[in-house]
């Protein structure tokens, strides 16, 4: 194993500086996808080659040209030839933005949010209600559905609405930490889902469990942008924006404040970091990414219902962040790709394979069993194994790695003894943090 690793790293060292090799890799994998349209491996390799481009030691100029060509030409062409891949690509893009949003809350600020999907739902429902006939059921002003041009306005409204929801959640959990925070955010996510599910009476806002259908596609200057490729470019643009914002935020003053809070809240307070403001901002920022993607999702699906926003979805996004590496932008992107491909392609192929075996009479499996629906099984194992063997994720952020590997022990003294002076104070150890925030411990 170590030998293979060494060999691979040598090959990488030698070739990653050569634009022809990287370009060839991308073209070859793209060709593979086109030749073998049914193979999940081809597409996964293509995506991997895009990441190889990302890490390759090329001149920025070459990198940019090749990146633009693969994302603007190659991927759409693959998607046009095979609509399925277009869907996968759009889905990956949406999850990338969600993972980056959650990465701010969980990875940077260290606030474990298990109800993240609530913000996604907020964005989705904002546009679904006004972009369909639903709004006419309770609004007596204006005509609905709104025209597709309003999509862009609602993209902003979705962001604002989700950010407000984020602040609302943030305000109610300001004093909570760690486990309590996790459970309360989970409750918040469930409350939103239950409310969406039942708000068809007394006034029909959400049409309840039946969902809202016929959501308008976006339009520009009278031109409807409802095709897969249109959504692809909308999502691509948004993801690029979100990546830029994430990177800039992380390096900014507020980003460092978030990481300081994650590391040690008491120390952060004493350094003059406005903890309340920073935490609320983290919730709002994280939520706003989800809000924007919610609007796109509603429009792309043409249909929203509460079941798309289950707890499972929150955990899926959380798995992306954890798998990739908490607090790392690239990590979140890689995590989103892996988990989405796993969900949409690999599990499905395995499932197809098993049903093939069953139909061929080789394996005697009950008809009810469908492997593709066992994603929780896979996610569960991923989460456990990652936590035990590599809590920093595949591509750890540098600071996070130091935190988790460099220094260790949680104060096992139990109920809130004062932190030992000399030792590095562990993150969110029992009690030390809450005392500073009006928990009033000892």
Partner 1 sequence: MREIAQMFPQVVVDGLTLGFVYALVALGYTMIYGVLEFINFAHSEVFMFGAFAGTEVLLALKASGLMATFTPVGSLFVSLLAGTVLTGLLGVVMEKIAYRPLRSAPRLVPLISAIGVSFFLQDAVRLVEGLWHNAFYVSAPTLFAGGWSPSPTVRIPTKSMILILVCLGIMLGLSLFVGRTKLGKALRAVAQDQATSSLMGINVDRIISLTFLIGAGLGGAAGTLFSLQYTLIHPYVGFILGIKAFTAAVFGGIGSIPGAMVGGVLLGVFEAFASAFLGPLTHGAFGAEYKDVFAFIILILVLIFKPSGLLGQSATEKA
| Binding residues for partner 1 (CB under 8 A) | 110, 112, 114, 172, 175-180, 182-184, 186-188, 190-191, 194-195, 197-198, 201-202, 311, 315, 318, 322, 365-369, 374, 376-377, 379-384, 387-388, 391, 403-404, 408-410, 412-416, 426-431, 434-435, 439-442
According to DSSP, the residues that pair with 213 across neighbouring strands are 303
Residue written as token pair 């009278």: 222
Record the tokens describing residue 197, joined without a space: 């599910």
219 φ, ψ (degrees, to nearest 5): -145, 155
CA–CA separation, 141 and 138 (whole Å): 9
The residue (of 350 and 383) whose beta carbon lies closer to partner 1 is: 383
The residue (of 171 and 223) whose beta carbon lies closer to partner 1 is: 171
CA–CA separation, 173 and 332 (whole Å): 25
SS3 state of residue 178:
helix
Closest approach of partner 1 to the CB of residue 185, in Å:
10
The residue (of 26 and 192) whose beta carbon lies closer to partner 1 is: 192
- Contact between residue 200 and residue 153 where contact means Cβ atoms under 8 Å apart: no
The residue (of 70 and 427) whose beta carbon lies closer to partner 1 is: 427
220 φ, ψ (degrees, to nearest 5): -135, 120
186 φ, ψ (degrees, to nearest 5): -60, -45
Closest approach of partner 1 to the CB of residue 428, in Å:
5
In terms of Cα–Cα distance, which of 385, 384, 335, 317 is closest to 105?
317
The residue (of 218 and 431) whose beta carbon lies closer to partner 1 is: 431
CA–CA separation, 227 and 306 (whole Å): 24
**Helix (H) or strand (E) run with residue 13 in it:** helix 2-15
HSE-CB of 176 using CA atoms within 13 angstroms:
16
Record the tokens describing residue 137, joined without a space: 């059921």
- How far does CA 214 lie from the centroid of its chain? 26
Closest approach of partner 1 to the CB of residue 371, in Å:
9
Listed in sequence order, the residues at least 6 apart from 120 whose beta carbon sits closer than 8 Å to its beta carbon are 98, 162, 290, 291, 293, 294, 297, 309, 313
Closest approach of partner 1 to the CB of residue 44, in Å:
23
Closest approach of partner 1 to the CB of residue 419, in Å:
13
Per DSSP, 374 falls in state: -
Listed in sequence order, the residues at least 6 apart from 171 whose beta carbon sits closer than 8 Å to its beta carbon are 280
Closest approach of partner 1 to the CB of residue 92, in Å:
22
The residue (of 68 and 171) whose beta carbon lies closer to partner 1 is: 171
The residue (of 80 and 184) whose beta carbon lies closer to partner 1 is: 184
Closest approach of partner 1 to the CB of residue 209, in Å:
10
The residue (of 13 and 198) whose beta carbon lies closer to partner 1 is: 198
According to DSSP, the residues that pair with 304 across neighbouring strands are 212
Closest approach of partner 1 to the CB of residue 268, in Å:
16
The residue (of 142 and 366) whose beta carbon lies closer to partner 1 is: 366
Closest approach of partner 1 to the CB of residue 432, in Å:
9
Closest approach of partner 1 to the CB of residue 398, in Å:
16
- Contact between residue 190 and residue 311 where contact means Cβ atoms under 8 Å apart: yes
SS3 state of residue 212:
strand
In terms of Cα–Cα distance, which of 79, 53, 80, 77 is closest to 65?
53
The residue (of 197 and 302) whose beta carbon lies closer to partner 1 is: 197
């Amino acid at each position: 194993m170590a030998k293979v690793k060494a060999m691979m790293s040598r090959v990488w060292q030698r070739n990653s500086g050569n634009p022809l090799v990287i370009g060839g890799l991308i073209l070859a994998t793209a060709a593979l996808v086109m030749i073998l349209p049914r193979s999940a491996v081809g597409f996964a390799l293509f995506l991997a080659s895009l990441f190889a481009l990302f890490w390759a030691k090329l001149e920025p100029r070459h990198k940019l040209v090749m990146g633009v060509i693969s994302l603007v030409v190659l991927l759409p062409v693959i998607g046009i030839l095979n609509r399925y891949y277009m869907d996968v690509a759009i889905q990956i893009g949406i999850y990338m933005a969600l993972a980056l949003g959650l990465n701010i809350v969980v990875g940077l600020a260290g606030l474990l949010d298990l109800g993240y999907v609530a913000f996604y739902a907020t964005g989705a429902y904002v546009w679904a209600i006004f972009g369909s006939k639903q709004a006419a059921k309770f609004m007596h002003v204006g005509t609905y559905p709104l025209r597709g041009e309003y999509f862009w306005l609602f993209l902003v409204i979705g962001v604002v609405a989700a950010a407000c929801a984020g602040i609302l959640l943030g305000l109610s959990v300001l004093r909570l930490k760690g486990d309590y925070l996790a459970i309360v955010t989970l409750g918040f996510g469930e409350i939103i889902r239950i409310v969406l599910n039942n708000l068809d009476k007394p006034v029909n806002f959400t049409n309840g469990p039946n969902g809202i259908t016929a959501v308008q596609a976006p339009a520009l200057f009278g031109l409807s942008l409802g095709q897969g490729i249109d959504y692809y470019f909308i999502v691509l643009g948004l993801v690029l924006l979100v990546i830029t914002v994430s990177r800039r935020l992380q390096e900014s003053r507020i980003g460092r404040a978030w990481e300081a809070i994650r590391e040690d809240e008491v120390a952060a307070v004493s350094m003059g970091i406005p903890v309340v403001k920073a935490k609320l901002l983290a919730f709002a920022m994280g939520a706003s990414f989800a809000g924007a993607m919610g609007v796109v999702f509603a429009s792309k699906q043409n249909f929203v219902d509460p079941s798309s926003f289950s707890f499972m979805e929150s955990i899926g996004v959380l798995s992306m962040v954890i798998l990739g590496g908490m607090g790392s932008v690239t990590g979140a992107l890689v995590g989103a790709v892996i988990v989405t491909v796993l969900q949409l392609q690999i599990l499905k192929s395995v499932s197809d394979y098993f049903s093939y075996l069953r139909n061929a009479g080789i394996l005697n499996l009950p008809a009810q069993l469908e492997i593709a629906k066992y994603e929780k099984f896979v996610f569960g194992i991923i989460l456990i194994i990652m936590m035990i063997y590599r809590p920093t994720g595949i591509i750890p952020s540098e600071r996070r790695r130091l935190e988790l590997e460099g220094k260790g022990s949680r104060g096992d003294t139990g109920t809130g003894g004062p932190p030992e002076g000399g030792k590095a104070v562990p993150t969110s150890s029992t009690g030390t943090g809450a005392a500073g925030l009006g928990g009033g411990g000892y």
